[in-house]
Amino acid sequence: MRALRAAAAVIAIALAGGCFEGKGDLTLNPDGSGKVTGEITFILEAPWTGPKRTTTNPNAPPETPKTPDELTREAVLLILQRSSGIDAWKDVSFEQAAGNRVRFKGTAYFRDLSKVRISPDSKSRLSFGSDGTNQLVLVLSRSSIGAEPAKAGRLIGPDELAKRLKDERAKYQLARSAITREMLGMMLDLAFRVPGTVDEVKNIEEKGGAMAVHVEGFRIFQALDVQMIDNAFVGGVIFSGRTFSEQMVRDMANQKVFGLKGDCWARMKGPFANRFEYKAEVDAAKKAYPGMLAKLGLEKDKSPPRPPAPAPAPTPPKKAADLIPGKGTVPNLPLPDKLPTIPAPILPF
């Protein structure tokens, strides 16, 4: 079986920012195409709302704070426009929820699950396809803290080791506190409806005719805290030359998302049949998409126009001697008869 490395796309989004709740029901065809009907609830702030705009123009007026409605529409548009690997969206809806949060619902169609990236996430998290034989395999993997090569360790005496154990546990607590707000309230439910008959399954629950995964943020912290009590584990990190940075703790949390260190996977055997007609549903979704955006008020930016920046005060023209220190004239610059065309920048959406 070829290695298929990934984890659920919405999980990394949860780690990216804010108290997060998500539900996803994925239906997969034998050729790898599929759809996900889901619901996500997130805090209305970066990275969901995108980077804050900045200006270097000292004469520009102060930027008017955006209303919650403007920020909500901006977050929804970022999901729709900047997600990749998606052929079409349908049945999109959204609403503001308590605690400065947004509840987003919709169905997304994709050709290849490993290429799906739901904004603001930027990585593939899930894989589904042939295992190299006549079977299909769905794999939900973990982010490996061993992916970064370990540095060569040195011998450490008992006294120094005791101090290092204490120091590394203190670093872990600092890193843990930095991501507690992001993950503590996380709750995620995923269901995978696969073609064929499930032949083997590991660390994924079979529930209601689907492969099911349930994740809660506080249980991840419980598992991490128990692991940090183990001197052998912490000592192994020390002897390998690593340290408990915030990124490493995030990677450890990814490992614990499914409750186990090993891979989570399910293997299916034939006969295989499509669970839905991909092309027909995608064509219908694309046709309905403009009308859906108009109904949601997303077909164009309806934010109130911002006042133009005031024109700068006129300044007296400078003399040539002021332009080039030490010289009284401006030298002629040789220019080609025909200047090259400079292409406009291509925006990533």
- For the stretch 2-18, pLDDT in tens is 333 333 433 443 333 44
Is residue 335 assigned to a domain?
A: no
Alpha carbon 50 to its chain centroid, in Å, reads: 12
Q: What is the 3-state secondary structure (H, E, C) of 34-60?
A: EEEEEEEEEECCCCCCCCCCCCCCCCC
**pLDDT of the residue at 310:** 56
Is residue 250 assigned to a domain?
A: yes
Distance, in Å, from the CA atom of 262 to the CA atom of 199, rounded to the nearest integer, reads 19
Could you read off the pLDDT of 113-136 as tens digits, one per residue? 989 988 887 666 678 998 888 899
List the one residue out of 333, 296, 340, 330 whose CA is nearest residue 74.
Answer: 296
Which of 25-29, 248-252, 294-298 is the least confident region?
A: 248-252
Is residue 290 assigned to a domain?
A: yes
**pLDDT of the residue at 155:** 67
Q: Please, which pLDDT band fits residue 144 given cuts at 50, 70 and 90?
A: very low
pTM of the model: 0.66
**pLDDT of the residue at 301:** 47
Angle at which helix 158-183 crosses helix 9-16, to 10 degrees, equals 100
Domain count, the chain: 1
Q: How many residues does the chain have?
A: 349
Is residue 2 assigned to a domain?
A: no
- Whether the CA torsion 30, 86, 286, 89 is positive or negative: it is positive
Q: Please, which pLDDT band fits residue 313 given cuts at 50, 70 and 90?
A: low
Q: What percent of the chain has pLDDT over 70?
A: 66
List the one residue out of 192, 190, 202, 195 whose CA is nearest residue 268.
Answer: 195
Could you read off the pLDDT of 257-297 as tens digits, one per residue? 554 445 678 899 999 999 999 999 999 999 999 999 999 99
**pLDDT of the residue at 51:** 66
pLDDT reading at 218 higher than 60: yes
Is residue 313 assigned to a domain?
A: no
Q: Residue 240: which domain range?
A: 9-53+65-296
Q: Which is more confidently placed, 52 or 128?
A: 128
Q: Are 246 and 175 in contact, with CB atoms under 8 Å apart?
A: yes
Q: Please, which pLDDT band fits residue 300 given cuts at 50, 70 and 90?
A: low
List the one residue out of 271, 259, 32, 224 whose CA is nearest residue 140.
Answer: 259
Residues 6+ apart with CB under 8 A from 43: 17, 18, 19, 20, 99, 100, 101
Is residue 341 assigned to a domain?
A: no
Is residue 96 assigned to a domain?
A: yes
DSSP 298-313: -SS--SPPPPPPPPPP
Is residue 321 assigned to a domain?
A: no
**pLDDT of the residue at 84:** 92
